[in-house]
Structures are given as structure tokens and as C-alpha cells.
Structure 1
Amino acid sequence: MPKQHSPAVVFDPVGGLHTRDVSLRPAGPGEVEIDVRAAGVCHSDLHIVNGDWPTDRPLVLGHEAAGVVTATGPGVTSVEAGDHVVLSWFAPCRKCRKCIAGQAWLCTGTRAVANTLPDGTTPFRDAQDEEVWPYLGLGAFTDRVVVPEAAAVKVPDDLPFDIGALLGCSITTGVGAVMNTAGVRPGESAVVVGAGGVGLSVVMGLRLVGADPVVAVDLSPERLAVAERFGATHTLDGRATDVATWCQEELGGMDYAFEAIGSPRVIETLPAMLTSGGAAVLVGMAPTDATGAFNLFDLADQGKRILGCNYGSSIGALDIPKLAGLYLAGRLPVDELIGTVRPLAEAPAAFDDLRASAGVRTILRP
């Protein structure tokens, strides 16, 4: 029987961004096959398209998704056919020292960042029977995927797929940055630079823990308006305001400064926004070779800290169900994060919107 091919959004270092038909092999041991129902368009995908994170192979893009389990391979016990799942892009090995220590976001055994399944293979081939690789081990910009069991997190059936997709990366990263990485306490102050999907999730997390005041900074009036609805007490246009000076003069410096863009130039300004003892939290992912410069005397003299944040210091299997429960209980206004819903074929337009900082999160549906 001939293989069935489905369209997938692929970035190729030679051919660039395009749609290519791919086939999917069955789920093997420890793997899960999933019917993708919704996928978010994240800046980490744009980093690949823009060349910030170079790739030497064609990748099926997409790492923020939700769907329904259609089949499981031998040895899978946590999900079964018919379960609704969110895909957690950082699939931990569950065996290394960091995983055993409860720091799965620092897993040293995952193959996700190598854009393969745990055994080093890909489940995708194109119509010429050439290998195509899953971005971050998922490759969710198509209609079906095969992922490691650790990447398929069961969620309640009444969780909308569009919401579930955002739980796979942006919300877990943003809320986790507040609760896990920074450990913000009620009444502490924070500024969030960048009000895209991740930055707005940081604002949601700050409201959830009772931070006050909360300052949101962006170039988009639309995004700043959403930030206000999510709990920001102040909003600033980053073009018109020296944010560090404003934070010091108006609020005496901030306890936390979150950067959700990945801009080295912006990251360098974070310590000047802080009060003594404050922490800068690097949530946005910079290009792989990016460096920054800081006033080292100020950091030491004022006891300021710089905290790296990968995936919100989250463990997908634990944090995603918690966040799903908070959404279903009405405590996370995630619906407003969803801006445009597009068919998969309109992925290039979604990337154009992301480059232009237009709207909030775009959802693609196969």
C-alpha cells in the first residue's frame, strides 16, 4: 500500500520556507502518534526561518501544539488512543542527573534540541523518500506527528485545542518564569519587556501571584491594551520611553525585570531597571552566538542578579496539567492570547505578522 502524504510547513537551509508533503511512520517503542488539532506560531520557529538558529537539515517546523492520540507504541503507559494531549517540546530523558534531581528543564539526555526523536531518528520522509526532521523533536506544522511519550501530556477533554497549543510553550514558559524561575512573591514589583505571547504570559503569571506594580513594555498599542487586561498596572511604549529611567524615577526601581524578546540590546538595559537586590530574568531566547555587556560593579555593589530561564524552569508533565486546571477554573485569561487563526497553508503570513509584532498569538489548524 502506498504511503499517505500530508502537507507540512518545512524550513530547508537550501529551499527556505515552503510546504512539502511528508509521510509519517508508525509509532515505535515509547512513542505516541497524535492527530494535531492546533499549533501556535512561536518566535522560536521564527528564529529558524530568520537564520538566528542555523540548521543543516530540512525541518518540519512547529513545537507548540495540541491534539488527540491516535496510536501508541509498545511500552507506552501514560496515554492511550483517544486521549487529548498537549505537546511539551522539551521532552526530558527522565534518566540523567538533572531529571532525577527534579530539574527536567535542564535535561542533558534529551534529543529534542537536536531536532530528532530520542533514538536519533526522524518519523518524517518526503515524497522522494528523503528524511525531513522534526523541529525540537515535534514538527507540529502538519496533521499528524510521532513524538516520544514524555512529550505527550494528557489534559482534560474540555480544554480547547487552541488553548492547549499555547500551553505547550508560551504560557508554560511565561507563567513558569514568574513562579518557578524567579519565585515572585505577592506585592513585589516587575517590568516585562516584550508583550508577545510569552511576555503576556509573564504578565498573567505576575497577576496570578499578586505582584504589584506590573509594568508592560512593547511597541504595539494592541499588545499593551491586552497587557492591561491581563493585569499590567502601567504600560509603556518602548520607542517613546527610556524604560530604565522611568522605572527608577517613577517606582524607585523594580524587584524583577523580565525580557521576553531575546534582544541582546534590550537585555543589556535590564539591570538599570532594577532596585538593589533585584533580578533580571532572561525569558526570550537570543540568537545562539549573542553576547551582552553589563556594569559589573553595579551588579556586585547592588546585589543584582541575572537569571536564565529555559521553558519557564518547568516540567511539562507537572506544569501543563496545573495550568490547564487554572484556565478551566477561570484564573488564566488565555483566550485573549489568541489573535488570528489561520489554515496551515498561511504559515508564511503568520511569520510575517510575528516579524512585524502584529497582533498576539497566531494559531494554525491543519
Structure 2
Amino acid sequence: MKTKAAVLFEFGKPWSIEEVELDPPKAGEVLVAWEASGLCHSDEHLRLGDLGGPLPEVAIIGGHEGAGRVVEVGPGVQNLREGDHVVASFLPACGRCHFCATGQSNLCDLGALLMTGTQTDGTFRRRINGKNVGAMCFVGSFSQYGAVPEASVVKIDDDIPLSRACLLGCGITTGWGSAVNTAKAGPGQTVVVLGCGGIGSGAIQGARIAGAEHIVAVDIVEAKREKALQYGATHFVTSIEEATALVADLTRGVMADSAILCVGVLQGAMIEPALNLVRKGGAVVMTAIAPLTENQVTMTMGVVTLFQKRVLGSLYGEANPRADIPRLLRLYRDGQLMLDEVVTAEYRLDEVTKGYDDMLAGRNIRGVMIHEH
């Protein structure tokens, strides 16, 4: 079949809307009609080449934060049927590797193939003019349709709007888990969230739901203040210097229990100021993506040792997608987790560049691409 998709042919170049030839799903795969896809900063990292990947040898379809309907089931698929509503998990969970079996499915071994553009069997399902085209994170939700591994989608209830459920395929789940699972936010704590985009909005809400007393949101865009406070931030500032002084005052000099880095592009120079925000034994959580070429970090190592501070990486918020995506949707249904309020604007497929221009300009918390079929 044919599908329209936003394709990247060369690092640094714009997305190109192309007609793509799509094969039927093979063993262990399903054909999904994507209804919606979040415009996550990670796709901008992909476009710029920050994440590595197969380009320029193999073009790639963007999009990894998707939700849609199963329209065909391949051989051997056990838990999905035609008509099921699903959310893509940008990190697959095979359920069999060492990490899945020990409760760390966000570190599933299938993740080694994420940026190759292939399916889990190392082959391709998409072509343009006879040449292979990859799909980001096995998903490629900047497309009307996609053949996707069963390991990469999670069945959800039919009553949840897919234009909101898609946010759980990456951003909201990553932010929520960074606060709840990695930082281990809890009642009475002080949590600082640096960056109030799609991931930061999830981290703020995770800290709120976990019972944090003080939640300080930091973003250089003053216009995000109202949204941050709506999500549950108790304070909003526009610089890390303001945050440091505020946290010192709020905690009588003890400082924050955790600082979660959810900025658009992580830089090594951000670690030292974040460490200064947290107390003895406190945690700095690195959730944001840094270019793979970024290998210089500034921090006073003696302080890390003597004050027992921790620097922690958090991939997908240490979430278990098969358990946590349904859990978060229950919180949404109960009115505790905000998803409607996170979506700032909706775009058509051919408006993908405008969506990212809006994101980079700080106009969006999260933009969502809505597909036409």
C-alpha cells in the first residue's frame, strides 16, 4: 500500500512530504493507521544528526510519539486484534531479554536497533522509488500508516482520544517517570524541573501527583508560567540563578531534593548549576538529550563525593510502558493527569516544519500532528 509521510533524506535538511510504498506486516508486526503523533524534540535531534542514525545511506520517516488503530495483524501476533487502539512505545519491550525480565523494560535489548531505521529483524518495510526507507524507533508516526513490531505498541481503551494518548508514547511518560521513578519524588519534597515543554510538563505533574510540597519550574520563556502553574508548579522562574536563590529560601538553605533536566538540548555546562540546586544526598536527573558529540561536563567532583550528590540518567523515565501507559491513562480519566492542557496546537502532516518552528520558538508545550486518512 501507499502512505504519505514526512521523510528525512539528509541531516540538517527539512522534512520532505513523500509518498512511500509500505509492505504488509510480517511475523510479530501489526499495521497501524496512525491518527496522531506528538512533535517531540527528539525528532529535531534526529533531523540535526544529534542521535546518529542511518543517514545519508537510508532515508528515515520521523515520529515516535504516536497513537492509532490496528488495521491488520501479522502472523504470530498474540495480544492485538484489528480495530484495537494503541499507543506507540518509542522504546520496545520484548519481554524476554535480561532487562525486560528484571523489570527494566525501558532498557530492552531491542533498543540497540532503534536508530538503524530497520524493523526488529534488520529488514525494511518502506521504500521510495525502490530504495529502502527507515522508521524512527520502529514507529515512524509521521506517516499515515506503518508496519510496527508488536513489542512497540501498547493496547489502550477505546474511549481515550488518540490525539491525547499519543503523548504517553514518549514525553509525558518520560517526564512523569523522571520525577516518580528516577528522582523518587515524594510527599513534602522540593523538586526543581528545568524546562517546561512536553517532558517538563510531565515531570511537574509527576512531582505533584507524588505529593511534592515545592515544585519549582524553570524556563527561559516567561509565557510558559501560566501553564507550568496549571500543571502543578508552585513557583516559576526564568533562570537557574533565580531558582537557586528561591530554593535556598524555600528550604532554609537545605536545597532541593532533586533537579530534573528537561531542557530541549542538554549541555555539559548545565550539570554544575543543577548540582548546586540540590541538597546533600540530592539527585540531578539527566532526562534531556545531549548531542552524542557532547562529551565535556563541568562539575566540582569533590562536592559530589563529600555531599553525596547523585547524577542519574533517566531513559523513558525508567517506565514500564505496558504497565505505566495504562496507569497514566487512568490518571487522565480520573482528572489527575493533564493531557488536553499539554497540547498547545495541532498540525497537518504538511505543517510539520511549522510545528517545529513553533516548538523551537517556545510557543508550544507540545504540538500534535493529526493525520488524515
TM range (shorter): over 0.9
- Following TM superposition, by how much is the alpha carbon of 1:238 offset from its aligned partner in structure 2, in angstroms? 2.0
Aligned to 2:200: 199
The equivalent of 2:125 in structure 1 is 123
Q: What TM-score results when the alignment is normalised by the length of structure 2?
A: 0.93
Tell me by how many angstroms 1:59 deviates. Answer: 0.8
- Aligned match of 2:60: 59
Contact kept in structure 2, 1:150 and 1:317, CA below 8 Å: no
For 1:309-352, what per-residue CA distance to the aligned partner results, in whole angstroms no more than 9, with x for missing partners?
00010121111111111101111011110011011100011111
CA contact (8 A) 1:34 1:69 kept: yes
Deviations for 1:230-266, whole angstroms, at most 9, x for unmatched residues? Answer: 1111100128x44334433443210000000142132
Task: Report % sequence identity.
Answer: 34
> What is the match of residue 160 of structure 1?
161
Contact 1:32–1:152 (CA under 8 A) maintained in structure 2: no
Within 2, Cα distance between the matches of 1:25 and 1:224?
A: 46
Unaligned runs of 5+ in 2: none
Shift of 1:295: 0.7
How many angstroms apart in 1 are the aligned matches of 2:366 and 2:301?
A: 36
Which of 276, 279, 288 matches 1:272? 276
Q: Please tell me whether the aligned partners of residues 271 and 298 of structure 2 are also in contact (alpha carbons under 8 angstroms).
A: no
For 1:244, give the aligned amino acid.
Answer: T
Q: Residue 300 in 1 paired to residue 305 in 2?
A: yes
Question: Residue deviations 1:175-202, cap 9 Å, x none?
Answer: 1111212221111110000000100110
Q: Indicate the larger mover: 309-318 or 105-114.
A: 105-114
CA distance in 2, matches of 1:205, 1:298: 28
State the TM-score, normalized to the length of structure 1.
0.95
> Which secondary structure does the structure 1 equivalent of 2:341 belong to?
helix
For structure 1, the residue ranges without an aligned partner over 5 or more in a row are none
Count of aligned positions: 361
Deviations 1:158-177 (A, max 9, x none): 10011111011111101111
Q: Is 1:91 the equivalent of 2:92?
A: yes
Q: Which amino acid counterpart does residue 122 of structure 1 have in structure 2? A: F
Aligned partner of 2:185 in structure 1 is 184
Query: Which moved further from structure 2: 324-333 or 4-13?
Result: 4-13
The whole-number CA distance in structure 2 between the counterparts of 1:147 and 1:7 is 16
C-alpha separation in 1, matches of 2:17 and 2:167: 23
Distance in 1 between residues matched to 2:280 and 2:323, nearest whole Å: 33
The one of 354, 364, 367 equivalent to 1:362 is 367
Q: Does 1:9 align with 2:6?
A: yes
1:18 equivalenced with 2:16 (yes/no): yes
For 1:103, give the aligned amino acid: Q
Q: Distance in 2 between matches of 1:118 and 1:149?
A: 10
Tell me how far 1:275 sits from its aligned partner: 1.1
CA displacement, residues 74-106 of structure 1 (integer Å, 9 cap, x when unaligned) = 111111001111011101232221111111111
Alignment of 1:283 with 2:287, yes or no, is yes
Give the 5 Å matches for 1:134-153.
Answer: 134-153=135-154
1:16 Cα deviation (Å)?
4.3
